[in-house]
């Protein structure tokens, strides 16, 4: 999937989404690797998973299609190997890595099976972590229902696209269609943690752009999300997460 992102947007992603959500996820995903492992982070973004894997002593390469994301990643860890690459056509030899990791990216790949197949070609094992089901992610479901009431189903679906591979059977079927043998499937509940509801809404409603109903959405969302706000005003919006681990076939078998 080809997409563009400004450097300021990539910096916002790193400064806001990584500490709020993706940093803790990355620690959990990177726990599959060991010191000395050769690791490829596919759809690496600003490098949260790559940094977590490197922190465990792995030899890490990160790939992403977006130059702005990679610019921020390089700034954070210039010692790691960052490359521009398409997940569906990875520029690496068969079994060049012990692990291919991917977090919060699979749903954005144009051909998800091709991307998973490529991960299985270049690595002995694959671990993918993605948002789960919208209706099992209470904080996001509350926001989506408000959006639906004020802006309609299309706007709700736009926000819901983040959960596009969250159905467990769909995720399993994609992994198996790529020729991977599933070794582990784990579902857990995390939370997006931000200092206030305003920051949460600013981040999560970005896809709606200049939606005319946005003021009404924000007003009602504050009430809908109140149960996830603590006494200091900080929000912890629950979100379901899946982690799936697969093993690829013999070297060269997954073309």
For the stretch 81-137, pLDDT in tens is 999 999 999 999 999 999 999 999 999 999 999 999 999 999 999 999 999 999 999
CATH assignment at residue 71: 3.40.50.150
Please indicate, yes or no, if residue 253 is contained in any of the structural domains: no
Query: In total, how many domains does the chain have?
Result: 1
> How far is it, in rounded angstroms, from Cα 251 to Cα 172?
22
Please indicate, yes or no, if residue 255 is contained in any of the structural domains: no
Please indicate, yes or no, if residue 252 is contained in any of the structural domains: no
pLDDT score of 156: 93
> How far is it, in rounded angstroms, from Cα 214 to Cα 210?
7
Relative to beta strand 235-247, strand 123-131 is: antiparallel
Percentage with pLDDT > 70 across the chain: 96
Relative to beta strand 38-42, strand 59-64 is: parallel
| Domain range for 27 | 7-247
> How far is it, in rounded angstroms, from Cα 29 to Cα 63?
17
Relative to beta strand 181-194, strand 235-247 is: antiparallel
Within 10 Å of residue 123's Cβ, how many Cβ atoms? 28
pLDDT score of 9: 86
pLDDT band at 255 (very low <50, low <70, confident <90, very high): very low
Task: Write out the two tokens for 217.
Answer: 């959405």
**pTM beyond cutoff 0.75:** yes
pLDDT score of 2: 43
The predicted-structure confidence for 228-242, as pLDDT tens digits, reads as follows 999 999 999 999 999
Please indicate, yes or no, if residue 186 is contained in any of the structural domains: yes
The predicted-structure confidence for 11-57, as pLDDT tens digits, reads as follows 988 998 899 899 999 999 999 999 999 999 999 999 999 999 999 99
Task: Write out the two tokens for 82.
Answer: 């960052």
The predicted-structure confidence for 143-174, as pLDDT tens digits, reads as follows 999 999 999 999 999 989 999 999 999 999 99
Please indicate, yes or no, if residue 83 is contained in any of the structural domains: yes
Please indicate, yes or no, if residue 35 is contained in any of the structural domains: yes
> How far is it, in rounded angstroms, from Cα 149 to Cα 141?
12
DSSP-based three-state secondary structure for 19: helix
> How far is it, in rounded angstroms, from Cα 202 to Cα 200?
6
Please indicate, yes or no, if residue 115 is contained in any of the structural domains: yes
Please indicate, yes or no, if residue 254 is contained in any of the structural domains: no
Return the bridge partners of 126, or none. Answer: 100, 246
């Amino acid at each position: 999937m080809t997409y563009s992102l400004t450097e300021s947007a990539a910096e916002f992603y790193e400064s806001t989404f990584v500490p709020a959500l993706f940093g803790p996820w990355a620690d959990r995903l990177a726990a599959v690797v060991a010191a000395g492992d050769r690791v490829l982070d596919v759809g690496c973004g600003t490098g949260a998973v790559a940094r977590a894997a490197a922190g465990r002593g792995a030899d890490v390469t990160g790939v992403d299609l977006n130059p702005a994301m990679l610019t921020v990643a390089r700034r954070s860890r210039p010692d790691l190997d960052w490359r521009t690459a398409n997940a569906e056509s990875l520029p690496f030899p068969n079994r060049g890595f012990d692990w291919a990791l991917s977090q919060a990216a699979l749903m954005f790949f144009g051909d998800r099976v091709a991307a998973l197949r490529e991960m299985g070609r270049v690595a002995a094992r694959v671990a993918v972590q993605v948002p789960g089901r919208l209706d099992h992610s209470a904080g996001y479901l509350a926001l989506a229902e408000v959006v639906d009431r004020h802006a309609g189903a299309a706007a709700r679906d736009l926000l819901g696209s983040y959960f596009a591979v969250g159905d467990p059977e769909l995720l399993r079927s994609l992994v198996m269609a790529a020729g991977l043998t599933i070794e582990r499937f784990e579902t857990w509940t995390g939370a997006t943690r931000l200092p206030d509801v305003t920051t949460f809404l600013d981040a999560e409603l970005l896809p709606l752009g200049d939606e005319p109903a946005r003021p009404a959405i924000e007003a009602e969302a504050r009430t809908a999300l109140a149960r996830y706000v603590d006494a200091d005003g900080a929000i912890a919006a629950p979100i379901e997460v899946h982690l799936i681990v697969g093993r690829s076939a013999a070297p060269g078998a997954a073309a």
